[in-house]
Structure 1
Amino acid sequence: MRRNVLLCSVAALLIAFAPAPAAAHPDRTTDATYHNDAATPGADPFVLFDRASGYYYAYSTEGAGPGHHFGIYRSPDLATWEHLPGGALRAGQDGDWAHDWFWAPEVYHNPDTGLYFLFYAGRMNRNVAEHFRYPDFEEASKVGVAVSHSPAGPFRDIVEAPIDYHPYDPAYHDVNLIMDATQKKPPATLEEGRTAPLGTYIPFIDPNVFFDADGRIYLYYSRNAYRNWVWDTDLGKYVEESNIYVVELTDDWWHDPAGRTMTAIAPVHRDANLAPDDPPGTRKDGFVPILDYGSDKQSWENAHVDDYADSGGQKKDRRWAEGSTTVRTVDAHGKPLYYLTYSANNFENEYYGVGYATARSPLGPWRKNPANPVLSQDPAQNLYSTGHGSVIGSPEGTGLYYVHHGRPSTTSARALYTSAMHIGDGLAIHASTSDEPVPRGVGPLTLRTADRVLRTTPGRPVTTTAHVRSAPGAEFDLANQQNRVRATLTPAAAGTVAVTGNQVSVTMTGPGTARLTVGYQRHLADGGYRDVANTRRHHSTPVAVTVPVVSR
């Protein structure tokens, strides 16, 4: 069955899959390629296409400058990333309701108000008992929201507090209360675990906001594994799990032109788990379960269920379902079909990978696909720990990509990777470290120099600046090793040429004239460089410019 009309959020609905300027000439493109070289540090990337600037922006758990949280990168092509100074949040001014574990930033743009909203997770440092009942609650994570008029930030917290949401699980036996201080070894039997008191507050991370076509807004998140020991009947023991849940949001925050209204959960979820005998003022909010292991078992998610024994008691037996992204498609019969990507296993492990589930409603029921994982380690390509990404479209709207983190070795730091994605009879992600075509709509490319004519005297260098832009108007960072400009002088004996980044310098040996040709090249996976051309039907035109040089 064919799928079409893919929408991943209001940002994607209005921007990423809408035609960019290049779509007016669908037969015009470029033969430029890219390869995943792991040269850009990053983790948990979320990518937004900003139509106004033509740039893709990637927001990362890692990569912020001193005094900031969350790195920001931008790219004209989803491959050549430019690191922006600072970061999304200014430490000491925003995000202060938390003290660490600043994770998984995601940004959504409302073109009607011009505002950009940053959702992020953090671990609380104050009022922990107020939110989680116990002051020593270990993983006291919640989600904050900040706003900016620019995708480059800085973002400011709407309020100096996380979202007013207190998810509570009334059916959970809180076995942590009958465990020792290390909190690593749960009860040995289910019967013993059931002696623990019922009910616990849920810490949560990895926010993903989904804007459905009917205008309703949903917040998907990962329940931290902490305080979620689940009895595994197959293994005959407790395993601590993170699961994926969802809660509906109101929309007044989204439409506030001043950006001063804090994000809030829909009234139907507020105090949905309140018991009749709870004291006045108690908050126990509801949630809708989306994914958990026991309801839909897949063995690839079991990489860490024996970590306690394998580590000599230093680690817990755990499972993870985290880093979700939800997208909406419409099938050939006009019926909506929702896809949710998620990551499983520990992000530090080479077995970290991506699966997906489908549903006919944002609230489910969701079923995992038996083909999972659809993205996982590939030692033949030196690719490990692949996961926690986001779905984004090509500039002209016909291609899909999953931008995620991975590692070139089992001991390397995380880096940004861009993998082509396809939704047809299922969802497929094409992981590659070889040369791949840049997304359609990035080209045709333009190369311009700051000077139309260079004038100099013999022996005196003269310099011009080269600028390479995508069809939507974003400029390439020529300091990124995937890009390079090549410059030649004709006749060659007329002088010498030097290139540093986007600076091209010519030194003429004597009086006379010459032609400086500046061309654009892309780095290849084999280490070489290749000239780039724009293509139109059966014709190709080098991405290059010629500048006269006059020496007197």
Structure 2
Amino acid sequence: MTLLRLSFVSLLLPLSLAANPVMDGADPHVSAVGRDYWLYPTEPRSRNPIFAAYRSSDLRTWKREGTILDLDKVPWVKADGAPWHGAWAPAMAEKRGKFYFYYSVGPQNPTPSRIGVAVGNSPAGPFTDSGKALLTGGDGFEAIDPMVFVDPKDGRAWFYAGGSAGAKLRVFEMADDMISFKREVDVAQPENFTEGAFMHLRDKTYYLSYSHGKWNDSSYSVHYATSDSPTGPWKYRGCILESDDKHQGPGHHSFVENRSTREWFIVYHRWETGRKDPPFRGGRKLAVEKVEYDDKGLIKKIKMTDGKSPVSPIRR
């Protein structure tokens, strides 16, 4: 009991680490808001249904700003009657000065996974849940790993979710309220797609990146495809991040741009082990790497690093 209490208290303290890996956790979503980066991970405690926000000025040193959503206080989560609930794979989107927090709710068996959404006035919250599930799994589809991309070209918002055992990606156009759907778009399944879709726009190219493989073995990796549209059709471009001699299973990532320098970075989780025999156990770690593009706009292979991580303050 004492150890559990100490573990909980430690999560309330500021986190200040300065090297890869930057912290414990998984499934990181990072956004740039003003002069700060905001990170939303799966918290490093199993079956604990909370989410927290972390803030950084340079992508290297992160401070925990506190719990932003407690699923024990969201009534619809327990309505499925499951004996326990997990919280993982969140995403944040901003539109018209409001912040929308999307998140996965388990279990996936015996009750289907669901995705919820909460609304706040700042990236630090507080967030108020919409009052119902946005999307529920079933018929072979797993409602997991949400990501919402607001297209700067026209302001439309696109929702991406799904994967894992069903390995099915679904895409929706969000309604103006950002807590409901306007329509679903029929999309082709990207090559080597497993889960954890992420969309970013650079110049005129839309990059759909995602995880491939099994989450707890060395096959887990990041692949991507490109398109002239946020809904495809996709042109598969290959694997850009995979296991090496020191780290296994890198994936479930996000891309973030420093708008003042036009530099791009990937934030992802990995297992800190060189052994190849799965399943890997213990906690996953978050790391940050700089992303480079070639003269054709294709993403160069990303090498995992230890120790000194990228530093990229956002200037005015």
Bin for the TM-score computed over the shorter chain? 0.7 to 0.9
User: Could you tell me the TM-score, scaled by structure 1's length?
Assistant: 0.47
Which has the greater radius of gyration?
Answer: 1
Match of 2:180 among 264, 276, 299: 264
CA offset at residue 150 of structure 1?
2.8
Shift of 1:417: 0.3
Please give the residue correspondences for 1:65-84 in structure 2 after superposition, counting only pairs within 5 Å.
69-84=50-65
Partner of 1:505: none
Q: Secondary structure at the match of 1:361?
A: coil
Instruction: Describe the SS at the equivalent of 1:206.
Output: coil
Q: Secondary structure at the match of 2:299?
A: strand
Shift in CA distance, 202/403, structure 1 to aligned 2, threshold 3 Å: same
Distance in 1 between residues matched to 2:117 and 2:201, nearest whole Å = 24
Tell whether the 8 Å contact from 1:420 to 1:431 is kept in structure 2 after alignment.
Answer: no
Q: Secondary structure at the match of 1:431?
A: coil
Deviation by residue 1:149-198 (Cα, 9 ceiling, x = unmatched): 23222322022x111x5688xxxxxxxxxxxxxxxxxxxxxxxxxxxxxx
- The secondary structure found in structure 1 opposite 2:223 is strand
Call closer, same or farther: CA 1:166–1:387 in 2, change over 3 Å: closer
Pair 1:291 & 2:186 matched: no
Q: Mapping of 1:33-432 within 5 angstroms?
A: 35-36=19-20, 38-51=21-34, 54-63=35-44, 69-85=50-66, 87-94=67-74, 96-97=76-77, 99-110=84-95, 112-113=96-97, 115-123=98-106, 138=110, 140-159=112-131, 161-163=132-134, 165=135, 200=139, 202-212=141-151, 213-225=153-165, 241-251=166-176, 253-254=177-178, 263-266=179-182, 269=183, 287-292=185-190, 296=191, 321-330=194-203, 336-369=204-237, 372-379=238-245, 382-394=246-258, 396-409=260-273, 410-424=280-294, 425=296, 426-428=298-300, 429-432=302-305
Aligned residue pairs total 285
Q: Distance in 2 between matches of 1:151 and 1:398?
A: 22
CA RMSD in angstroms, aligned pairs only? 2.9
Q: CA 1:124 to 1:404, structure 2 compared with 1: closer, same or farther past 3 Å?
A: closer
SS, match of residue 180 in structure 2: coil
CA deviations on 1:367-394 (whole Å, 9 max, x unpaired) are 211xx32101121xx2222111111012
Q: Which runs of 5+ in 2 are unaligned?
A: 1-17, 79-83, 274-279
Q: Using the alignment, how far apart are the partners of 1:204 and 1:66 within structure 2?
A: 18
Give the 3 Å change call, closer, same or farther, for CA 395–79 of structure 1 in structure 2: farther
Structure 1 SS opposite 2:145: strand
- The answer to whether the 8 Å contact 1:401/1:418 transfers is yes
Unaligned runs of 5+ in 1: 1-33, 126-136, 169-199, 226-240, 255-262, 270-285, 302-319, 331-335, 443-470, 473-552
Please give the alpha-carbon distance, in whole angstroms, between the structure 1 residues aligned to 2:136 and 2:23. Answer: 36
| 8 Å contact kept, 2:29–2:91 | yes
User: Are the equivalent residues in 1 in contact too, given 2:157–2:174 (CA < 8 A)?
Assistant: yes
The alignment-based identity, stated in percent, is 27
The alpha-carbon distance between structure 1 residues 147 and 433, as it changes in their structure 2 partners (threshold 3 A), is same
